[in-house]
Structure 1
Amino acid sequence: MNQLNILKQFSTIVADTSDIESICKYQPQDATTNPSLILQAVSIDKNQKFIAQAVQYAKQKGGSFKDKIINASDKILVDLGIEILKNIPGYISSEVDARLSFSTEKCILKAHKLINLYEEAGISRNRVLIKLAATWECIKAAEELMKDNISCNLTLLFSFAQARACAESNVFLISPFVGRIYDWYVSQNLLSKSFTGKDPGVMSVCKIYDYYKKHNYKTIIMAASFRNIQQILCLSGCDKLTISPILLKELKSYTGTIERQLNLPNILLSSPVSLSEDEFRWEHNQDAMAVQKLSEGIRHFGQDQLELEKILSKRI
């Protein structure tokens, strides 16, 4: 049996891609997208129909030029999500515009808009995760959205403070970024690229997993942003693993045994007092890596959103 099939016995496998062919090939339970993956998808000739559909939709909706661009962007996001859902049994994660990451109210409004678009197409909100950056504002938005049966995936998660705040706010799922944490330590010459043990990105997820399970938090942990299969195998047993097609291919091509690395604890602890906003901001600020990578991730996703809007502006 190949390593991918063995890994599926320990963790739910999620495809980190908007490529339908890859999704069909590796048969994941769920799929995740982000602004970078959406931009890649619409740059492929075979996906030009999604741009055409989005432009037509935006023109029909009317409004200002800016309104049309926003509506077309949202339509592409949802239409690609619908196409992916035809090929998986579980969830699609669709990400809110990163530029809204510091407004709870705007994130809530955007989430409702995206869910409405899915439901107008006959897709239940129970198959959609609204993806938000793990800022304080977005964590609070996710907490409110749960009251309307809208589940969220809190992404760009780098610090333990972010993980704690998400669990304490009853967020549905978090995506701690293994590879980007690893990248930071390499860039600071604190870790060699040839390192093969449990690197800081892996250890971050291990710490979150142990903490969540010991305190019986229901928030799902989906490790993300892998750089190599060693990182993935070190986290076998994590609730979910979202993996790029390149690494899914590697896992499928290798045979050999895999042992579960993350296991449920034998003891349960009472939940601590929830972090206040000022405590969260201070604790997160103490982690230089997390501060840098969160802001960098939001900027980059915002830039990719702008690139998508430039493509759409030429057609509207």
Structure 2
Amino acid sequence: MNQLDQLKAFTTVVADTGNFKQLAQFAPQDATTNPSLILKAVQQPDYAPLLADTVAAHRGRALDEIVDEVLVRFGLEILKLVPGRVSTEVDARLSFDSASTVARAQRLIGMYERAGIGPERVLIKIASTWEGIQAARELERQGIRCNLTLLFSFCQAVACGEAGVRLISPFVGRIYDWYKKQAGGAWDEARQAGANDPGVLSVERIYTHYKHFGIETQVMGASFRNVGQVLALAGCDLLTISPDLLAQLQASVAPVERRLDPDAARAADFKPARYDEAGFRYALNEDPMATEKLAEGIRAFAADSAKLDAMIEAQR
């Protein structure tokens, strides 16, 4: 049995891609997208007609509405290939505007419903700012399930759990990137790989907190740089993995051992944590890695959203 199939015995495997034509070979349960992945896909010849057709079908509408139609079109194609859910992201430029995030999420869900897809098959991705988490709190009350992304710190995870968010996506690889860059020549890859990887350790702490205190929010490790990071989190609720790493897992038959276990987490010695808005903002400020990576991630997604806007504007 290959490593991918072994991993599926412990963890729900999710494909992280806008390139939906790659999905069938890996048989993931769910799939995630983001503005950068969608932008990358529509620049390829295989997907350019999808963009052109969607823009043509909605010509005359506001630019932001056409953008959402493109995102939903990709989601609909993905849902033909996965049995579970697709994650569709709210514009990162709304990351500090709760009311606009709620409105955009409602619109996305409405677009899916008009296409015959119920809200149980869609997760709305929102950046894990304080404003994004409060928007997700309201959306969850309305029955719209959320995936809180760009999550780098324990305080973000705690606040998401308190808000009743359905799922979070802590970014393993980007945490790893930050610590490796900070260490420079002193970084020891062998010593800080696998279970000692700082991104892996962050997810393990969040997972333990949730399971120990019976918090129902699901943990989906994301943004992996190598297979070692994936395997070190075997047993996490979900893992969203790029096609390149899925292929590496599929090509190996080395044994996979469960690393995260809910029973062990419930038995752990773990202190409770809570954050009001002031406490959340201070804790985030005290974590330079999380502060920098959250801001950087929002800027990058916003920049790619602007590029997608320009591509659509040129065709409408």
Same fold (TM over 0.5): yes
Partner of 1:275: 275
Aligned counterpart for 1:181 among listed residues 175, 189, 201: 175
What is the distance in 1 between the residues matched to 2:18 and 2:103?
24
Query: Is it true that 1:20 corresponds to 2:20 in the alignment?
Result: yes
What is the distance in 2 between the residues matched to 1:232 and 1:242?
9
Aligned counterpart for 1:114 among listed residues 108, 112, 118: 108
Partner of 1:263: 261
Cα distance change of structure 1 residues 28 and 80 upon mapping to structure 2, 3 Å threshold = same
SS in 2 for 1:188: helix
SS in 1 for 2:235: coil
5 Å matches for 1:122-161?
Answer: 122-161=116-155
SS in 1 for 2:139: helix
Q: Does the 8 A contact of 2:208 with 2:266 survive in 1? A: no
Figure out how many residues of one structure are paired with residues of the other and give that number: 310
What is the distance in 1 between the residues matched to 2:80 and 2:172?
29
Q: Does the 8 A contact of 1:216 with 1:268 survive in 2? A: no
What is the distance in 2 between the residues matched to 1:257 and 1:88?
26
Aligned counterpart for 1:219 among listed residues 193, 200, 217: 217
- CA offsets per residue over residues 24-77 of structure 1, 9 Å max, x none? 1100000000000000111111212322233224325x4xxxx2x212111110
Segments of structure 2 that go 5 or more residues without pairing to the other structure are none
Letter in 2 for 1:130: I
5 Å matches for 1:1-316?
Answer: 1-60=1-60, 62=61, 67=62, 69-189=63-183, 191-194=187-190, 195-197=192-194, 198-264=196-262, 265-267=265-267, 272=272, 274-316=274-316
Cα distance change of structure 1 residues 142 and 107 upon mapping to structure 2, 3 Å threshold = same
Q: Does the 8 A contact of 2:17 with 2:37 survive in 1? A: yes
Cα distance change of structure 1 residues 256 and 283 upon mapping to structure 2, 3 Å threshold = same
Segments of structure 1 that go 5 or more residues without pairing to the other structure are none
Q: Does the 8 A contact of 2:13 with 2:28 survive in 1? A: yes
SS in 2 for 1:26: coil
Letter in 2 for 1:283: A
Q: Does the 8 A contact of 2:213 with 2:266 survive in 1? A: no
What is the distance in 1 between the residues matched to 2:126 and 2:72?
15
Is the deviation greater in 10-19 or in 41-50? Answer: 41-50
Letter in 1 for 2:71: L
Is the deviation greater in 272-281 or in 241-250? Answer: 272-281
Deviation of residue 148 (structure 1)? 1.3
What is the distance in 1 between the residues matched to 2:175 and 2:152?
7
TM-score (norm 2): 0.95
Cα distance change of structure 1 residues 186 and 273 upon mapping to structure 2, 3 Å threshold = closer
What is the distance in 2 between the residues matched to 1:26 and 1:134?
29
What is the distance in 2 between the residues matched to 1:274 and 1:207?
15
Q: Does the 8 A contact of 1:133 with 1:155 survive in 2? A: yes
Cα distance change of structure 1 residues 56 and 283 upon mapping to structure 2, 3 Å threshold = same
Q: Does the 8 A contact of 2:226 with 2:245 survive in 1? A: yes
Cα distance change of structure 1 residues 43 and 279 upon mapping to structure 2, 3 Å threshold = same
Deviation of residue 266 (structure 1)? 4.2
What is the distance in 1 between the residues matched to 2:57 and 2:141?
30
Percent of matched pairs sharing the same residue = 49
Please tell me the root mean square deviation across aligned C-alpha atoms, in Å. Answer: 1.6
